[in-house]
Amino acid sequence: MSCSAPSFAPLPALILANTSIRSCRTLRDKRYDLLFEPVKIGPVTAKNRFYQVPHCTGLGRLRPRMLAALRGMKAEGGWGVVCTEYCSIHPASDDLPHPHASLWNDDDIKDHALMTEAVHRHGALAGAELWVGGARTANLYTRETAIDVTSMPNLAGHPYQSQAMDKSDIRELRRWHRNAALRAKEAGFDIVYVYATHGYLLSHFLSAHSNTRSDEYGGSMENRARLVRELIEDTKDAVGEKCAVAVRYSVGGDDGEDPSLTSERRDRLEMLAELPDLWDININDYYQEMGVSRFIKEGSLEEHMSFVKSITTKPVVTVGRFTSPDTMASQVRRGIVDFIGAARPSIADPFLPKKIEEGRLEEIRECIGCNICYAGDGLGVPIRCTQNPTMGEEWRRGWHPEQIPQKSSDASVLIVGAGPAGLEAARALGQRGYRVTLAEATRELGGRVARESTLPGLGEWRRVSDYRLGQIEAMPNVEVFRESELSVDEVLAVGADHLVMATGSTWRADGFGRTHPKPLTTLSTAARILTPDDIMAGQLPDGPTVIFDDDSFYMGGVIAEKVRRENVPVTLVTPENVVSAWCEYTSEHYQVQKNLLELGVDIKTGHSLLAYDGREVTLCCIHTERQQSIEAGALIMVTARSPRDELYQALKQRMEEGAQMPFRSLRRIGDCEAPAMIAAAVYAGHRYAREFDTEPDPDASCRLK
């Protein structure tokens, strides 16, 4: 093996003690002092300017203990304010299968008290975002009739319409909201929201586009704002002596809205400016507000909301996927915001504020903007994160993002493969104090992350490997060897007590995938058939190219963009009815298709691949079975991957043949075991390190509540 010969620094205190975090505050850069100033919000005061805005978790009312532990971890990590996800005020606002919080009756109070107690334990404020969905919700669980400003089709695509609210319905809504605010106060919340954006009921009352009423709740801007004003006043009257009242509000944005409507948003904000205790500002375009890093960069909302502080004296918070403390400090220093709002950065690193406060910037796990966290809500399952494998596991597995049990033996571990799974396993094992050898076959570390981060828009994904390599370089008990493709005998010669294969996977070129359960026999052996691995290695086609995307996540779209930007004609074919269908869960499929169309990529949905002879690709419509041919000099397969487990299988075979082996255990992790998304690979590496040298009960499951 050829050693990379890294320069190793002394082991940080965090690693030596495993559970300690440096408490010295003299190391903080003075440029960031203003981020740790207390800020008054009505009757309460936040200890600093770090504000975890309301965000979904896939937990909600279904999994209150998991939720409380997750939010409590944010508070432990230094966030000054920690909020719930959207919290329904009544069964007529039910969004299942998307899990949400609720304050429907007094029985909900005890569940929320778990969260507020966990948050208060670390000196943070707890916020509750009271929510009524209107025509966005079909109430599939409760079977209550949805209500809204008018009767309109369900905006999530379900075959329902809302009931038009009369004045008695409005009075009842105000009662529901007041009662929910009182329950929030009893549960221990410090901030209570009036939620007037994101296409839910209150935003429909505000909008001249959707509000066509002719009574005192419709017509003029003042009338259309009447209900929001009443709810602010009701909430302040009910809980304002103890709790701050926040309003979540959209200032518009460049989403194609009529300029007069956008202008009115500013006028309305100015009219209501001094009513609440805090303004939580966002924009209409959720694809920008929640945009993936492929299309949207840090601080993207500033251009739309920078005026807000000029028209209100109340504190202002907004989001922007802030990961740079310089950007954060600039936002405050220039008077754009009072609080640094965050959802995704607080998920990737719950201890981001504490690391800034203690001068440990190199230890921050920066959000990569992949939106895997958001996918959990759409799928109705607990949240997960590519960068932070402990997210969502705080209660059910007892995992802590900064703490891990110390080693229980002097065992040594050889990890083969320095991709996301191997790097995380090496980092976490190193943090535990084990002796680790990490061998990588190539010169570059990072595996698929290093390769995929070279594709259009995915540069920030490199943070997955950068963070782990930065931590590993400070660990003298972890040795890294590059350009070390090991044979079975070389693996055994290392003499490690435990072997871990993290050798990744390769994209298949034979057509096997969801559509074709067997390799296609109709592909010419003389044809130029490529895979994403070939494209990432620089083997680009130079003539008309067909991409068959049977994977339906991000890869087909980024490969199409990569090839098209080389001025090569591209046709993207998918059996799905939209391009990159799974990207709906990461809130980017609209941008993916828009981007490809603007680049001039020809898109053919609802078609499968039948054959390729090197000159023509034959397709078949999945609906009609009609066939057609497209001239192409190359075919790129984005279908399925094969685990690179040859070394694992060879070692396992020797064991089964009864050969005496010098190691105690053999495992494979990540894509080598089962190809999946990067988040799954990081999780696999972390779980291996957590469970190493333990004897988990194979019949015992984690706490799934």
Which residues are marked as active site?
200
**What length is written for the chain?**
705
Here the tokens at position 569 are: 């004609």
* Closest alpha carbon to 514 in 641, 669, 618: 641
Q: What is the C-alpha to C-alpha distance for residues 27 and 196, in angstroms, rounded to an integer? A: 41
* Dihedral class, residue 337 (left if φ above 0, else alpha if ψ from -120 to 50, else beta): beta
157 class by beta-carbon count within 10 Å (0-12 exposed, 13-18 middle, 19+ buried): exposed
Q: What is the DSSP letter of 157?
A: S
Here the tokens at position 521 are: 């026999």
Q: Which residues contact 548 (CB under 8 A, 6 or more apart)?
A: 511, 573, 574, 609, 617, 635, 636, 637, 638, 639
Strand, helix or coil for residue 438: strand
Cβ pair 81, 96 in contact under 8 A: no
Q: What is the C-alpha to C-alpha distance for residues 338 and 313, in angstroms, rounded to an integer? A: 10
Please, what's the largest Cα pairwise distance for the chain? 86
DSSP state string for 605-666:
ESEEEEEE-SSEEEEEETTT--EEEEE-SEEEEES-EEE--HHHHHHHHHHHTT---S-SEE
Q: Which residues contact 136 (CB under 8 A, 6 or more apart)?
A: 95, 154, 155, 156, 199, 200, 201
Q: Which residues contact 653 (CB under 8 A, 6 or more apart)?
A: none
Q: What is the DSSP letter of 670?
A: G
Q: Which residues contact 675 (CB under 8 A, 6 or more apart)?
A: 505, 640, 641, 642, 643
Q: What is the C-alpha to C-alpha distance for residues 325 and 352, in angstroms, rounded to an integer? A: 9
* Closest alpha carbon to 603 in 561, 570, 644: 570
Q: What is the DSSP letter of 132?
A: -
Q: What is the DSSP letter of 71?
A: H
Beta strand pairing status for 50-52 and 602-605? Answer: unpaired
CA quadruple 70, 76, 79, 84: dihedral sign: positive
What does the H/E/C string look like for 319-333? CCCCCCHHHHHHHHH
* Exposed e or buried b per residue across 312-339, where buried means at least 16 C-beta atoms within 10 angstroms of its C-beta: bebbbbbbbbbbebeebbebbeeebbbb
333-to-17, 96, 303 alpha-carbon distances in Å: 37, 41, 16
669-to-6, 29, 222, 418, 644 alpha-carbon distances in Å: 25, 39, 60, 12, 11
Here the tokens at position 213 are: 């009423």
